[in-house]
Amino acid sequence: MSRSYTSTRGAGAASPLPNLSGSFVDEAYLELVELLTTEADNSSQVYHAFDTTTHISYAVKCMHNAAPGSPRAADLQRELDLHQSVAAQRGVATLNFSFVDNPRAGGDNEYLFLVLNPAAGDLSNLILQRQMYVDRPRLVKESFLMLADAVAECHNAGVYHRDLRPRNVWCDAEGGSLRIANFEKATREERSVNFRCGDLAYMSPECADSTGAGASYSPRESDIWALAVILFNIVTGSRPWSVPHPSDESYAAYRADEENHLVETFHITPAANGFFRRCFAAQAADRPTLDDMTVAVLDIDDRFSLSQRLVVHSRASKLFFRPDSREVIGDVRFLDRRRPEEEGLGGKGGAKKKSKYKNV
């Protein structure tokens, strides 16, 4: 079994995606109103889009399309198939349909668009910019349980996300209605040799380090580890380390003093410290299951953090505040789009090329 490595962010992008704000796509049924977020490697974007016939808002993900039969085309199809297979589950962003279009007349590039129900923002926005969870243990528990339920639904359907992080968790303006988005790295494999898949700070030690003969890791356990790191973000406003590897100074400091490091550095309570120590055990076999985690979180009687306000550590600001971050749209009703049957609507755009991705 050969090993493979996935660039976490930054390599392999075909070419930078342009800002398509103001463009009309899908036979002019959709206007891309505003660019909301862009991945660090510019491999994908999310727009606030507006249906020109029903006046319903959507979140639209844009990516480069791929040549039929290419490895990239297979990756895109896998993302669509896996997302669609769990899209009806509670806690997963609804994928309505997808299509291929070229909104720039005369351009050579085709783009793949995924049309999803919108959200007011994502967890990274709530954690730091709005400090939604500061000294609110009940909301912390409610949000974690929603996210844990969503991960469990995906796992029960045989889908493992492999890129769980705050920016891939959408929510409403009050921190509720959490939904998992972005299934680009998802898999059905119970064991994987695709190492360093996702964001380094959220992947499990086994995923981050491929040393050892016949090395592999469990995508299920990697998701559970990432869920614990997300909860740590919610509670402290920071990540515990940049990568769970001995070469990382913060991770090495934690392993050298697991009993005290998180308490002294991030000011969490003893109960929260005990919980995270179990979740961050060096050996996967010693970590709690997803069910065990939910029970343990409910059993924490009081606060998770000793801080009365969010203390933004210097590295947290670099990890969460990015140049591409933008204000997100407000709440809208989550209604499925009903496409008009009449001909001639949306005449602002020319006919688009049909694609196998339509109506996934």
pLDDT of 9-31, one tens digit each?
434 446 789 999 999 999 999 99
pLDDT band for position 1 (cuts 50, 70, 90): very low
What radius of gyration do the chain's Cα atoms show?
21
**Does residue 315 sit within a domain?**
yes
Which domain does 293 fall in, by range? 121-320
In the chain, the number of structural domains is: 2
* Residues 67, 138 within the same domain: no
Query: For residue 301, is pLDDT > 90?
Result: no
**Joined tokens for residue 190:** 């119970």
Asked if 167 contacts 124 with a C-beta cutoff of 8 angstroms, the reply is: yes
> 106: pLDDT confidence band, cut at 50, 70 and 90?
low
Task: Let me know if residue 326 belongs to a domain.
Answer: no
Q: How far apart are CA 240 and CA 275, in angstroms?
A: 14
Two tokens, residue 163:
């890129």
Within a domain: 354: no
In this predicted structure, what is the pLDDT of residue 3? 46
Which pLDDT value is given to residue 344?
34
Mean pLDDT for the stretch of residues 192-203 = 93
pLDDT in tens, 338-355: 333 333 323 333 334 333
> What are the tens digits of pLDDT across the range 232-252?
999 998 999 999 999 999 999
Q: Please state which of the ranges 43-57, 205-219, 257-271 shows the lowest mean pLDDT.
A: 205-219
Instruction: Please report, for the domain that includes residue 54, its CATH number.
Output: 3.30.200.20
Extract the tokens encoding 82: 């896996």
pTM comes to 0.81
47 pLDDT above the threshold of 60 = yes
Residues 195 and 156 in one domain: yes
248 in a structural domain: yes
Cα(338)–Cα(46) distance, integer angstroms: 21
Boundary of a domain, candidates 83, 116, 149: 116
| Long-range CB contacts for residues 223-226, cutoff 8 Å, separation at least 24 | 223/151, 223/154, 223/155, 223/160, 223/161, 223/162, 223/164, 224/151, 224/279, 224/287, 224/288, 224/289, 224/290, 224/293, 225/279, 225/280, 225/287, 226/161, 226/164, 226/165, 226/198, 226/202
110 lies in the same domain as 240: no
CATH code, domain carrying 269: 1.10.510.10
Predicted local distance difference test score (pLDDT) of residue 351: 35
